Amino acid sequence: MTEKFSTKKLLFKAYLWNMFGKLIVRSLGIISTLILVRLLDPKDFGIVAIGILIIGFFEVLSNAGVNRYLILQPSPSDDDYNAAWTINIFLRTVLNIILILLASSAARLFENPELETVIYIMCLTEFFYSFRNIGMVKLEKELNYQKENKVLILAKILSFCACLTAAYYFRNYYALLIGNIVNVIISIIGSYMVVSYRPKFNFKFQAEMFSYSKFLLFRNIVSYIRSQMDILLVGKRFGDVATGQFSVARQFSAMPQSELVSPAMQPIFSGLAKFKSEPAKLMANSIQVLQLGYLFLAPCALGLLAVAEPFTLVVLGEKWLPVKDFIGVLALLMIIFITQSVITTLYDANNKIKYSMFGDFAGIVLLATGFIYYSVNSVTEFAYLRVFVGAINFCFIIYFAKIFVELPVKKVLEVLMLPLSLSLAMYYFLMLLKPYFYSYPSAVELFLTVFFGFTIYVLLLLLFSILIRIFIKGGEFNLLIDSLPISVLKRLK
């Protein structure tokens, strides 16, 4: 009983620290982006987005998944940590050299000479980052996020200052690169300051580590292609400006998930990993996490769809106005992202990594097929295609999970239907109210829509919860209380 209480307490504390740290880091990131979108052009964001796309792919190739392997192991030795650190450095070094040799070809492929310089700088940054202290994984394994988040916050504050200073001076994409360099340098130094562990080179690798890592590496490659394929297609078809617009729209449309839900997923993965030997508890807790995610993300997605125009004008500015046509549509993808994230954890905990790639394969094939056979003439049309493909892929994801990890599909649909139905009702009421807000300035229109949307959703949720408790006593839909963040985390036991 004491051990269970200790685990719950650690998990809850880890969630709070991760939420607190990510909140500060992301808040600075949002403020930085809000300033940068007014100082830089969409083309600058497009160049860096393509650079990140290319570098990110090679970073995925260099990520053998050894960190995740260490977290899943009950008691990894120092030799395991040293071997993992060595593998990371070796792979990143080799792949960065290859990418440097291919930089000029990539610049010609995207018809952008400036991209070559961007790739050189990013390769150097990635090389240095490979020396980050592997001891940070020990903190994550122990659900100790306090020290890690202190490093993240310090790195973000300094990179925030460096990025904005460079933006005022250069007024181009150099600002984004300089901010990233400062962030990486502080992260590396900080990792050795907060952790006493000192890694050493160790070339004696366990066969089990490679066996686990090879499937995880391949999955990471497939997953990255699936997640970044839309940026690649937009970049090739519509150019730098459209790529910058799409990249920024995608970033802001996913903020409810990336800023509030994702911080919880890291400690939750570490917590769920403790229940590998208890499949029933693992599945029940995973469904509860999905329940919480849907309850929060569904109204956010439909809400952003309702306030797309005033949100774009107030938050991004007039030069980003074309984004209003698709930023709300892209927000619907959050429902799919949270589903895939939780299901991936189930695959990992059940040691069925190779089967987790099927959903990503389906997503790649569906998007490529749609892009080829459907005549996409604008970024807006592409965004609608992306969401349509995502909806179909959602069906594949839960179908494959039903087969390979015995996911209760009916239960997943049940916990999705309530928040989705209430969010659709909220959206309908907002559309009825929208004509009354047009005469107000954009900032007031945004505030009123958000206020009424939040109020309507909460009232509908309260009403539904009361009706369920009255007419279905002892039923499984005690969602109002059971889906609160604290309740979900406390019940991960």
pLDDT digits (tens, 9 = 90+) for 95-130: 888 888 988 888 887 777 888 888 888 888 888 888
pLDDT in tens, 377-412: 899 999 999 999 999 999 999 999 999 988 999 989
pTM above 0.85, yes or no: no
User: Which amino acid, residue 34?
Assistant: L
Phi-psi domain of 408 (left: phi exceeds 0; alpha: psi -120 through 50; beta: other): beta
Whether 493 has a pLDDT exceeding 70, the answer reads no
Give CA–CA dist 245/321, Å, rounded.
9
Name the token pair of 410.
């009916």
Check if the beta carbon of residue 285 is closer than 8 Å to that of residue 18: no
Cα 285 off chain centre by: 20
How would residue 454 be classed by pLDDT, with cut points 50, 70 and 90?
very high
pLDDT in tens, 120-176: 888 888 888 889 888 888 777 776 667 888 888 888 889 889 988 988 888 787 888
**pLDDT value for 273:** 58
Name the token pair of 483.
């889906």
Closest to 307 (Cα-Cα) out of 155, 492, 453? 453
